Amino acid sequence: MSAIEQQRKLRGLIRTLKRNIRAHVGFTPNDYLKSCKGVIHVGANTGQEREIYTQYGLNVFWIEPIPEIYHRLLTNIATYQNQRACMSLITDKDDADYILHIANNDGASSSILSLHHHRDIWPSIEYERDIHLKSQTLSTALSKSGANQVEYDALVIDTQGTELLVLQGAVSLLRRFKYIKTEAADFESYKGCATIEDIVTYLRPYGFRVMREDLFAKRAAGGAYFDVLFKREN
């Protein structure tokens, strides 16, 4: 086993130990919301978490790129106070051309990346059509929508493999967040996607450390999907 492989194995063992410790200290995945005033949720889909956010009395800014899904999102949040949305594809670039592959699970697994080992866990999911979109950075999307970033101190990202691109396009905003929560895998789920380790490495210089990892899907050949919560240290 090479030195690099040994280091990766050690980091994996450390992450597993931390997860086991956190599982026994009584914290729940949404406890962090108690100390937040607002959430920016990139990759909204139809706003499935809208009731959770309402329970914590949060301001919410949803961002969803697929037009028909976005209009369903608007309908779903219409009766919720302090929740608003914009339609945008968020990456690390403004006005870049992308092809967004629309997935057959109500758009939930849609991505600008090709499916790869994602099929090992969810073999029935496939792309059924493509749409062409121009991207925005998170900073630009907030500015053009008139959103006041001061109202939001948590960032939630669920963009199917492009989470790191979202973060790279939000450099000027990162130190304003107390928490960042992202869905990510520790294997190449989408072709060329960022792994948990990539995201951890990127966020470290901005003061973010992993607070908890919640596993929600395993790959038989090795690897898993997690919801990863980062907290910024003062």
CATH entry 3.30.530.20 includes domain 33-232: no
Residue 3, pLDDT score: 67
Does pLDDT of 71 surpass 50? yes
Does pLDDT of 26 surpass 80? no
Tens-place pLDDT, residues 186-219: 999 999 999 999 999 999 999 999 999 999 999 9
Does pLDDT of 22 surpass 90? no
Residue 9, pLDDT score: 63
Residue 25, pLDDT score: 43
Confidence band for 76, pLDDT divided at 50, 70 and 90 = very high
Average pLDDT value for residue range 50-71: 97
CA atoms within 13 A on the CB side of 160: 26
Residue 234, pLDDT score: 74
Does pLDDT of 128 surpass 70? yes
More confident: 136 or 18: 136
Residue 65, pLDDT score: 98
How high is the mean pLDDT of the chain?
91
Identify which of 18-22, 24-28, 162-166 has the greatest average pLDDT: 162-166
Tens-place pLDDT, residues 93-102: 999 999 999 9
What are the structural domain ranges in the chain? 33-232
Residue 4, pLDDT score: 65
Residue 24, pLDDT score: 40
